[in-house]
């Protein structure tokens, strides 16, 4: 059940919501689905490390809104910590994901770190449209095969299928990838019956220094009519984050 989450968070937080410095552009006719997905992986994991602060807006079916502030620290492609900074009743709630697939949760009210069991990793995290599994950062191509569906003027559309049967609750994903930056600008998640379950959109894609970033991302739960919109307010890359910042002890600080 962790496969879809790795994709979500790679796209959601990935590279600051960031992408790699643009490299040489391959000829369109030479790009297969696998090659496009490899470029997406390269794009998402480009910075050595990153610190990103965002406003998270939760929007219900009736248009009601709640706002939260969060910070994301990431090192490489597979180590990440996410911490709520506000409001007061959410402040300090933190999640740590490590390269071995472990996810740890810290709840300040209980002053305790606990490991998230596999059977609950697919539950929603702190009232958002993201799950505990979604906190993980991984390379898409480790878990999905990709097929080029079509090429549009500005985007590639690729279909992703789980490499391992039963590893994901989703039967397939459709991903729209920008040709100029290899940033995924939309990902659709289809359930086991082939129905659209969730949709993620990325907006305000631009280059900051050496990296491409999407300054806004929105995850929509189709059935609930609920959305979580993340708006980046600050970002910092390649600052030399210490490994000590990504430990269970650091969760409690």
Tell me what the mean pLDDT of segment 167-173 comes to.
83
Q: pLDDT band at 82, cuts 50/70/90?
A: very high
The radius of gyration of the chain from alpha carbons, rounded to an integer in Å, stands at: 17
Q: Can you give the pLDDT at residue 165?
A: 75
| For range 54-77, the mean pLDDT | 95
Looking at residue 168, its pLDDT comes to: 74
The pLDDT of residue 129 is above 70: yes
Confidence of residue 9 (pLDDT cuts 50, 70, 90): low
* Strand (E) or helix (H) holding 109: none
- Name the residue among 30, 35, 46 with its Cα closest to residue 238: 46
Tokens (6 digits) for 52: 């990103």
Give, to the nearest 10 degrees, the angle between helix 33-44 and helix 3-12: 60
The residue among 60, 27, 42 whose CA lies nearest residue 229 is 60
- Complete domains list, the chain, with CATH: 3-251 (2.50.20.10)
Q: CA nearest 92: which of 125, 66, 70, 121?
A: 70
Instruction: Please give the angle made by the CA atoms of 53, 56 and 57, to the nearest 5 degrees.
Output: 155
Burial of 52 (0-12, 13-18, 19+ CB in 10 A): buried
Q: What percent of the chain has pLDDT over 70?
A: 87
**With a threshold of 0.95, does the pTM exceed it?**
no
With a cut of 60, say whether residue 1 has pLDDT above it. Answer: no
Mean pLDDT of 222-228: 94
The answer on pLDDT for 252 being more than 80 is yes
What is the secondary structure of 190-239 as a DSSP string?
EETTS-EEEEEEEEEEEEETTEEEEEEEEEEETTTTEEEEEEEEEEEE--
pLDDT tier for residue 136 given thresholds of 50, 70 and 90: confident
CA 218 to chain centre: 11
**pLDDT computed for residue 96 by the predictor:** 94
- pLDDT at residue 21, as a whole number: 44
Confidence of residue 137 (pLDDT cuts 50, 70, 90): confident
Burial of 66 (0-12, 13-18, 19+ CB in 10 A): middle
Average pLDDT, the chain: 86
């Amino acid at each position: 059940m962790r496969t879809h989450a790795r994709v979500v968070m790679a796209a959601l937080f990935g590279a600051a919501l960031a992408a790699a410095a643009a490299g040489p552009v391959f000829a369109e006719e030479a790009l297969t689905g696998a090659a496009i997905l490899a470029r997406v992986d390269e794009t998402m994991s480009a910075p050595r490390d990153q610190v990103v602060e965002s406003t998270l807006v939760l929007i219900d079916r009736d248009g009601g809104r709640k706002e939260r502030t969060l910070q994301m620290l990431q090192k490489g492609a597979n180590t990440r910590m996410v911490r709520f900074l506000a409001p007061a009743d959410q402040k300090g709630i933190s999640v740590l994901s490590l390269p071995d697939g472990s996810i740890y949760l810290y709840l300040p009210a209980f002053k305790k770190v606990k490991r998230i069991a596999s059977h609950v990793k697919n539950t929603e995290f702190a009232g958002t449209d993201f799950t505990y599994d979604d906190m993980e950062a991984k390379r898409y191509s480790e878990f999905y095969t990709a097929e080029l569906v079509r090429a549009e003027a500005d985007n590639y559309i690729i279909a992703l299928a789980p490499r391992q049967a039963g590893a994901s609750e989703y039967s397939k994903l459709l991903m729209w990838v920008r040709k100029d930056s290899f940033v995924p600008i939309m990902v659709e998640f289809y359930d086991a019956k082939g129905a659209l379950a969730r949709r993620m959109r990325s907006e305000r894609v631009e280059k900051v220094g050496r990296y491409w970033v999407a300054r806004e991302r929105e995850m929509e739960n189709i059935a609930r009519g609920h959305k979580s919109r993340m708006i980046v307010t600050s970002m910092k890359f390649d600052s030399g984050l210490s490994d000590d910042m990504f430990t269970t002890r650091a969760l409690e600080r």
